[in-house]
């Protein structure tokens, strides 16, 4: 079946081999003239097809090396070098097959993610005898609340909760987080689709359907990334015109000086470098595949090229530079409110917020045994706060600037270094604040140092938090340019105003979606399922690791360097061989074969982009704190 598929997929390759076989038979039976006629006719036909394709690309403004291939075929036919003509035709027609092979190698990690997508789930149902029955269903039919059986070594089909009765179970989450060691989960903990169960059968309850599960979102991101063509085609086209002119000049000079038109053909057969057509795009696809292996999904080659030229990097604070898992340090109340009442109302409202701080407030309320209320009347203002109505009470939770317009008595509390306040108003009365502390990520400073080493000239932190908290985190991270008190519109404006470009924005959560879309390259820490941010971003980091932002820049730089290197290797080798051929040292047929070797060298070099780039984000070196420039909006 595979051979039949190849015959259908590459008909011109098959036709070229068939023509070669027919010509060989004719030569063996003594009909050399017939063999020459067959090869010449077929070669000129292919040259005509390539010429038409070349004109079509020229109409789109794309200048390539097609002209050299067409001239090489025609010239070798005219001077009677039919074997060389056939080899050139085979090189052209086989180029697509060679590209497919190399692309498949480069896309290996991207394809493996898609191929491993779960397809079957074992749903637990109750039969007529009230005993449990197991039915196998497509993953797409799993509904929220379904109880599922996970057999040993099976893929978790959808996101869900491990059954409470399970004391502990191990899962391989390497395809999601890059963590090579199994992760232990206990009953009631969240399981992510795409992870692999260990050696014990367990049960779980689905909390999402397949379309909204973690692994399905990864598959969609990977599919989108692999569908974007690499911009190296444009990169290669910059070399096409001067290379074509140089090749023609060498060929014509050799013809004129020697008086032998065969010299022209011998030069031109060495002037059809695949690196300009194939090797460079393969380097970009390999880079995307390498990134996927490290838990970073890059949405196309154009993104890699922009990453390679990074000059400014902008960071969100909460959940990006910090861990995004703040601990509640205390509750401060105003007259008429108790700590439990304030926490219960605030947590009830935070159920309708997407901000990373909401989870901590809700968790604290549950830890204290408080019963939360629900409502159909709630709304969130991105990066500002959330308002919800519970019976006769209207609760507003968020920044001081969000509370104060309707609760004029609201005032700022004095905070310790690294603390932040979540203010609360009830029925337009200032109720107090919940004090939280969010630690900076351990590798934040090393990541920023690596980005500077990679060419970032300006590092900025944008945050909606108060300036005291912002300054504290920035100093620990090694950032001197801080913009505090920013609304979403302020962040977009700040990114647009940066002079050093391209600008890379690193953030997480739905609140960062607008600025991620506004940056030249948006990087989303998508490990926590921040769908809106992931949709707006150009790069999605699937693991909760800030250092992968530096890895993405490093992979972009390596991919571009190797792509350009492959182009120059092809040009240098072809150029040197053309000069040698101009002296009549390399016969046309031999030259055509040598050119195939040059192509293979360049393609193998391009695949080096699969290798891991060296990044230095684990350093614990102590750096002196930089002077901090605070810009409050």
CA dihedral 577, 581, 583, 589 (to 10 degrees): 150
Round to whole Å and give the CA distance between 521 and 307. 7
Round to whole Å and give the CA distance between 164 and 188. 5
Round to whole Å and give the CA distance between 320 and 355. 12
530-539, Cβ contacts within 8 angstroms, sequence gap of 24 or more: 531/217, 533/507, 533/508, 533/509, 534/217, 534/221, 536/512, 537/299, 538/298, 538/299, 538/300, 538/303, 538/306, 539/291, 539/296, 539/297, 539/298, 539/299, 539/303, 539/307
Distance (Å) of CA 296 to CA 240, 459, 610: 33, 21, 13
- Residue 329: enclosing H or E segment and its boundaries? strand 327-333
Q: What 3-state class would DSSP assign to 265? A: helix
Residue (of 414, 514, 420, 506) closest to 470 by Cα position: 420
Round to whole Å and give the CA distance between 237 and 232. 8
331-338, Cβ contacts within 8 angstroms, sequence gap of 24 or more: 331/432, 331/433, 331/434, 331/435, 332/413, 332/421, 332/432, 332/433, 332/435, 333/431, 333/432, 334/409, 334/429, 334/430, 334/431, 334/432, 336/429, 336/431, 337/426, 337/431, 337/432
Q: What 3-state class would DSSP assign to 197? A: strand
| Phi, psi dihedrals of residue 454, rounded to the nearest 5° | -85, 5
Round to whole Å and give the CA distance between 200 and 215. 22
Neighbours of 164 (CB within 10 A): 12
For this structure, is 100 an active site residue? no
Residue 40 near residue 77, CB atoms below 8 Å: yes
DSSP 519: S
| Phi, psi dihedrals of residue 459, rounded to the nearest 5° | -115, 125
Neighbours of 8 (CB within 10 A): 8
CA dihedral 436, 382, 342, 473 (to 10 degrees): 10
Round to whole Å and give the CA distance between 472 and 484. 12
Residue 506 near residue 320, CB atoms below 8 Å: yes
| Phi, psi dihedrals of residue 278, rounded to the nearest 5° | -115, -50
Residue (of 616, 625, 633, 628) closest to 460 by Cα position: 628
CA angle 492, 227, 548 (to 5 degrees): 55
What number of CA atoms fall less than 13 Å from residue 307's CA on the CB side? Answer: 34
- Residue 525: enclosing H or E segment and its boundaries? strand 521-525
Residue 335 near residue 528, CB atoms below 8 Å: no
- Residue 183: enclosing H or E segment and its boundaries? strand 183-185
Catalytic residue among 66, 316, 490, 545: 316
Residue 222 near residue 266, CB atoms below 8 Å: no
Round to whole Å and give the CA distance between 397 and 331. 13
Active-site annotation, residues = 316
């Amino acid at each position: 079946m595979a051979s039949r598929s190849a015959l259908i997929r590459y008909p011109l390759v098959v036709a070229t081999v068939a023509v070669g076989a027919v010509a060989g038979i004719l030569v063996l039976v003594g009909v050399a003239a017939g063999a020459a006629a067959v090869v010449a006719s077929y070669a000129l036909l292919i040259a005509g097809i390539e010429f038409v394709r070349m004109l079509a690309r020229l109409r789109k403004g794309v200048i390539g090396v097609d002209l050299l291939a067409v001239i090489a075929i025609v010239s070798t036919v005219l001077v009677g070098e039919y074997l060389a003509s056939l080899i050139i035709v085979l090189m052209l027609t086989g180029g697509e097959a060679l590209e497919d092979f190399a692309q498949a190698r480069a896309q290996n990690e991207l394809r493996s993610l898609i191929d491993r997508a779960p397809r079957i789930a074992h749903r637990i149902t109750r039969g007529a005898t009230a005993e449990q029955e197991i039915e196998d269903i497509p993953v797409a039919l799993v509904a929220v609340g379904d109880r599922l059986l996970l057999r040993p070594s099976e893929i978790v089909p959808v996101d869900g909760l491990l059954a409470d009765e399970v004391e502990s179970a191990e899962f391989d989450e390497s395809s999601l987080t890059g963590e090579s060691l199994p992760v232990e989960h206990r009953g009631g903990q969240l399981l992510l689709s795409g992870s692999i169960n260990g050696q014990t059968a367990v049960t779980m309850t689905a909390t999402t359907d397949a379309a909204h599960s973690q692994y399905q979102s990864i598959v969609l991101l990977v599919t989108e990334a692999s569908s974007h063509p690499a911009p190296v085609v444009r990169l290669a086209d910059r070399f096409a015109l001067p290379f074509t002119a140089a090749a023609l000049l060498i060929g014509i000079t050799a013809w004129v000086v020697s008086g032998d038109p065969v010299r022209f053909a011998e030069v031109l057969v060495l002037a059809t470098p695949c690196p300009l057509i194939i090797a460079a795009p393969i380097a970009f696809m390999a880079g995307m595949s390498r990134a996927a292996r490290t838990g970073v999904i890059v949405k196309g080659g154009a993104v890699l090229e922009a990453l390679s030229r990074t000059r400014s990097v902008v960071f969100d604070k909460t959940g990006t530079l910090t861990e995004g898992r703040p601990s509640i340090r205390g509750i401060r109340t105003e007259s008429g409110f108790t700590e439990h009442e304030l926490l219960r109302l605030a947590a009830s409202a935070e159920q309708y917020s997407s901000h990373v701080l909401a989870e901590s407030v809700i968790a604290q309320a549950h830890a204290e045994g408080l019963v939360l209320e629900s409502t159909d009347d709630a709304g969130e203002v991105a990066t500002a706060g959330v308002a919800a109505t519970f019976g006769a009470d209207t609760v507003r939770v968020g920044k001081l600037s969000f509370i104060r317009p309707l609760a004029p008595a609201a005032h700022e509390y004095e905070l310790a270094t690294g603390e932040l306040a979540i203010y609360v108003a009830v029925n337009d009365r200032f109720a107090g604040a919940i004090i939280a502390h969010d630690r900076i990520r351990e590798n934040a400073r090393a990541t920023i140092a690596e980005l500077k080493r990679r060419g970032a000239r300006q590092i900025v932190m944008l945050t909606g938090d108060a300036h005291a908290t912002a300054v504290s985190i920035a100093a620990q991270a090694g950032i001197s340019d801080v913009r505090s008190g920013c609304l979403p519109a302020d962040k977009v404006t700040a990114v647009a105003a940066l002079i050093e470009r391209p600008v890379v924005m690193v953030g997480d959560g739905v609140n960062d979606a607008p600025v991620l879309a506004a940056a030249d390259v948006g990087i989303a820490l998508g490990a926590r399922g921040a769908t809106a941010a992931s949709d707006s971003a150009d790069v999605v980091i699937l693991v909760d690791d800030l250092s992968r932002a530096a890895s993405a820049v490093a992979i972009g730089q390596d991919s571009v360097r190797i792509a350009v290197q492959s182009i120059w290797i092809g040009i240098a080798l072809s150029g040197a061989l053309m000069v040698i051929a101009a002296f009549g040292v390399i016969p046309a047929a031999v030259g055509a074969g040598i050119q195939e070797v040059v192509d293979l060298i360049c393609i193998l070099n391009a695949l080096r982009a699969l290798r891991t780039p060296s990044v230095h984000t684990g350093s614990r070196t102590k750096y002196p704190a930089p002077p901090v420039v605070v810009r409050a909006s």
